[in-house]
Amino acid sequence: MMNRFLINNFTPSNFLLAIILLVPGISFAQYQENIPKPSGPIDFSETSNQVIFILIPLLILILYLIFRRRIKKIKEGKRKNK
């Protein structure tokens, strides 16, 4: 019964209306009070900031490039074996 109702009344305009009405509530629900927010440039003299903002992104980038190269080699190997 409910499936028939949803199928008959589903239109793109109803879907867009639902999204427009739900997005503000969802985004407001994610707002957290009393959390410190950055108030200026990052101080790179602290080791923790260097690790968080430089080392971890570099490691992620390097691992991504290695993984990508490995995938390309596997695909080329499969093409040559055919």
Number of domains in the chain: 1
State the residue range of the domain holding 57.
2-34+43-81
pLDDT band at 16 (very low <50, low <70, confident <90, very high): confident
> What is the pLDDT averaged over residues 3-28?
75
Enter the tokens of residue 43: 């101080």
Q: Give the global pTM.
A: 0.52
- Which residues, 6+ apart, have CB-to-CB distance to 68 below 8 Å? none
Q: What is the C-alpha to C-alpha distance for residues 17 and 13, in angstroms, rounded to an integer?
A: 6
**How many percent of the chain have pLDDT more than 90?**
41
Q: What is the C-alpha to C-alpha distance for residues 23 and 21, in angstroms, rounded to an integer?
A: 6
* Bigger pLDDT: 54 vs 13: 54
* Alpha helices (H) along 10-55: 12-29, 47-50
> What is the pLDDT averaged over residues 41-58?
93
Q: What is the C-alpha to C-alpha distance for residues 82 and 13, in angstroms, rounded to an integer?
A: 49
pLDDT band at 69 (very low <50, low <70, confident <90, very high): very high
